[in-house]
Amino acid sequence: MLNQPMVEKLLAMRLHGMVEALKAQEQDRAVNELSFLERFAMLVDQQWSWRENQALVRRLKAAKLKGSACVEDIDYRAPQGLDKTAVRALAKDSAWLRNHENIFVIGSLNRFHHPGFGRGHSDFPIETTER
C-alpha cells in the first residue's frame, strides 16, 4: 500500500506522473527485482513523460485547431508539388524542432493550403512564405 503522506507531498510538488508510476510499480511484482536506482529512474522517466505530454496538451489546446490532422493525412495525389520523401524526412528527423529552429516552405501559398499541411496542423510547425 502506498504511503499516503508521501503521495500527498508528491502531489503538492506537482509530481503527478511520479505518483502514477509509483502506483504502477506497486501493482507490478517484477519491479521488486530492480535496484533502488533502477526503480527511481523509472519514476523520473514517467514524470518527465507526463510533463511533456501535459505541455503538448496545453499547446494543442492553445492552438485552437479546427480538426485533427497529421503528416500521414497529406494527400500527395493532389497537384501540390509536394515531395513525399522530403515531407516524411522532416517529420521523422525532428532535430530542427528540438533545437527550436524553423522551416520555411517556399512556393505558392495556394499549393500548400491543405488541411493536413500547415502551421498548427501537425506535430511540428511548418511556416510558408510566398515568393
Give how many domains the chain has, as a whole number.
2
Residues 59 and 83 in one domain: no
Domain residues for the domain of 100 are: 71-129
Alpha-carbon gap, residue 45 to 55, rounded angstroms:
15
Residue 125 has what pLDDT? 47
Q: Please indicate, yes or no, whether residues 59 and 89 belong to a single structural domain of this protein.
A: no
40, 63, 86: which is the final residue of a domain?
63
In order along its 131 residues, the chain shows pLDDT tens digits of: 558 899 999 999 999 999 999 999 989 999 989 999 999 999 999 999 999 999 999 988 888 877 766 777 777 777 767 778 877 788 777 777 788 787 766 655 444 444 544 444 444 444 444 44
Tell whether 87 and 107 lie within a shared domain: yes
pLDDT at residue 109, rounded to an integer: 45
Instruction: Among 63, 96, 114, give the residue marking a domain's end.
Output: 63
HEC assignment per residue over 21-35: HHHHHHHCHHHHHCC
Residue 61's pLDDT is: 87
